[in-house]
Amino acid sequence: MKTFFATSLLLLSVLFVNAQSSPQFPELKVKEDYAKAAPMFLQATEWLNETPLNEQLELRKRTNAFILTWVMGSPDVNINLGDPLIELMKDNPQLYPIYLGNYASFCINNKDNKNPRDGARAGLLGIVNVYKKGVGIKKTKQLKKFAEAVDSGNMEESIDELLRMDIHERK
């Protein structure tokens, strides 16, 4: 009987810990929901940045969905994902939520800064940091070139080039 009780207690504690470690993402229906969810959005973005791409895949899928839903519906954040940025991440679609999360996190933390270049910089730094871990990522020439530009201190020029290409393509 003591063994049964101990085993039951152990199983309940494992279930409780798992329930606690898997966040419940809020519903996002009206403008106020997005502002209330901003702290969780920041935490979710940080989790995506820190957690290797090949770990906790189910939670990653849910977190990605929350990030995308928040970004697409937020009345306060507007992200234009142009062709050069899409091309940069096309072979690694798992980088899109990381880019969007870091871009939007910059906007949340810097409400007075309306320069899209600064948000893009934050998003690009996020994907470079994940890319450099080398886990669950397809190495591409473009990402390698951009990561090398960051390492050599030429990131600003590379961002300018990406954004200039985007502006040129929209004309």
Question: What's the pLDDT tens digit per position in 103-158?
Answer: 999 999 999 998 998 999 999 999 999 999 999 999 999 999 999 999 999 888 88
CA distance 169 to 158: 17
H or E segment and range at residue 98? helix 95-109
- Both structure tokens of 64: 């990605």
Residue 5 has pLDDT above 90, yes or no: no
pTM of the model: 0.82
CA distance 2 to 33: 47
8 Å CB contact between 18 and 56: no
Residue 20's pLDDT is: 46
CA distance 49 to 98: 7
